[in-house]
Amino acid sequence: MNLDIIKVLTKKDINLFFKNRFFSLITILGLISYMVIFFILPKTVDENIKLAILSERPLTRASYFLEEENVETLYFNSIDDLKKAVINKEVSFAILFSEDVKKIVVFIPADVEEEMREAYRYIAEELLYVELGYTLNIESKEVVLGEDMVGKQIPLRKRVVPVVTFLLIMTETLGLANLISEEIEGKTIFALLSTPVTVSDIFISKTLAGLITTFIPSLIFIIVTLGIGKNFPLIVFILFVGCLFTISIGFLIGSISKDFMGVIGFGGLMFVILLFPSFNVMSPGSFTSWVKSIPSHFLVDGLHKIINFDATFRDILQHIFILLSTGGILYLLGGIFLKRRIG
């Protein structure tokens, strides 16, 4: 290992990365557009349920109950208007009471998850129960475990940060994969290896170039969107580990791809698979626990926990371990493929 050689090779790789118009353009455009998306997204969460009601007979006990529970309620006179309010998402859901107030129909927007549909139906049934004058002879108590998030739910823009950071890192990783693929296909690797440059020098310099091209843009994004808060050192740490992990993916893609199209093809496939855990962060419960078997989960989830739940180093220790060990395996695989291709 020769530090001077590594410095020269790293400089060369970064130079070539930015000479590739496609990757330099998507680096800059991606960074700017992700920042714009962040600032466009709402910074607060509307936690209130808006209810629409249509009842020919005025409700008495139910409306008193709704008032007491601070539920914003809109009353409608026509069923068409009631349905329109649900479809246009002006309300969370709607209840149509029958003339004798003994039957109800609950209208729910099409994109509401199964669990929420059931919850809305229970609310509607309870309202009917109250209106009919029944009381349950039971006692219930609410105990919040952990920090009570009422009034401080995670806004979409903060949920989006780990996802976008991952997108940014992955995009840059494809640029690195392209550099590796070009080095092999253009046979420049043989020109390097016929000088005092060793295979380790090439590996280390590519890793450094990869770190610079993935870590710096993602760090800029974090600083611009979240600022430098008390969690910043831990964010930087997991970002660094995450970049090492994605660089190992870049090595594998670069070692098996024959050209730019190969990089885009293999990279695109990897990109899609590795993106699944992000959806889980954006919309919890949308995927089952199998997404945890995708290693990128530990980068996105780790970032999510630090940014949105003030997780400590101890909380993300498992994440770090899995990212590093998976990265190590992928590096090894990339090395095997690279060795096969350069003979």
Partner 1 sequence: MENVIEARNLTYSYGKVLAVDRISFNVKKGEILGFLGPNGAGKTTTFKMLIGLLKPKEGDAFILGMDIKKETKRIQGRIGVCFEYTNLYEELSAKDNLVLFADLFGIKDFDPMNLLERVGLKGKENDKVKTFSKGMKQRVMVARALVNKPEVLFLDEPTSGLDPVSSEEIRSLILEEREHGATVFLTTHDMHEADKLSDRVAFINKGKIVALDTPLNLKQKFGKRALKVKVLKEDGALDDKTVLLDEKDTPEKIYEIFKKDKIVTVHSEEATLEDIFIHLTGRGLE
By the criterion CB under 8 A, which residues form the site for partner 1?
4-5, 8-9, 12, 15-16, 19-20, 186-188, 190-198, 343
Residue 194: CB minimum distance to partner 1, A: 4
Minimum separation from the CB atom of position 84 to partner 1 (A): 58
Report the nearest approach of partner 1 to the CB of residue 16 (Å).
6
Which CB, 17 or 298, lies closer to partner 1? 17
- At 249, the amino acid letter reads I
- Alpha-carbon dihedral of residues 96, 98, 101, 104, nearest 10 degrees? -50
Nearest to 183 by CA among 240, 243, 250: 250
Among candidate residues 13, 309, 318, 297, the one with its CA nearest the CA of residue 163: 297
CA–CA dist 232, 46 (Å, integer): 27
By beta-carbon proximity to partner 1, the closer residue of 205 and 280 is: 205
Q: Which is nearer to partner 1, 329 or 336 (CB)?
A: 336
CB of 3 or CB of 136, closer to partner 1: 3
Report the residue number, 22 or 64, with the smaller CB distance to partner 1. Answer: 22
Given a contact cutoff of 8 angstroms between Cβ atoms, the answer to whether 53 and 91 are in contact is no
Asked if residue 81 lies in contact with residue 38, where contact means CB atoms within 8 angstroms, the answer is no
- What is the CB neighbour count within 10 angstroms for residue 118? 12
Question: Least Å distance between CB 44 and partner 1?
Answer: 47
Min separation Cβ 343 and partner 1, Å: 7
Q: Please give the Cα distance from 263 to 270 (Å, whole number).
A: 10
Q: Collapse the DSSP code of 276 into the 3-class scheme (helix H, G, I; strand E, B; otherwise coil) and give the result.
A: helix
SS3 55: coil
From the list 12, 39, 271, the residue with the least C-alpha distance to 158 is: 39
When the beta carbons of 186 and 268 are compared against partner 1, the nearer one is 186
Q: Where are the beta strands (DSSP E) in the chain?
A: 50-54, 72-75, 93-97, 104-107
CB of 295 to partner 1, least distance (A): 33
Half-sphere exposure of 3 (CA within 13 A, CB side): 0
Q: Pairing state of beta strands 50-54 and 72-75?
A: parallel
Q: Find the shortest distance in angstroms from Cβ 192 to partner 1.
A: 7
Tokens of 132: 């009919």
| Spatial separation of the C-alpha atoms in residues 104 and 124, rounded to whole Å | 8
What is the CA 95 to chain-centroid distance, rounded? 35
Nearer to partner 1, 10 or 257 (CB): 10
Q: Least Å distance between CB 182 and partner 1?
A: 9
Min dist. Cβ of residue 206 to partner 1 (A) = 14
Which CB atom, from 5 or from 168, has the smaller least distance to partner 1?
Answer: 5
Of the pair 198, 326, the CB lying nearest partner 1 is at: 198
DSSP 12: H
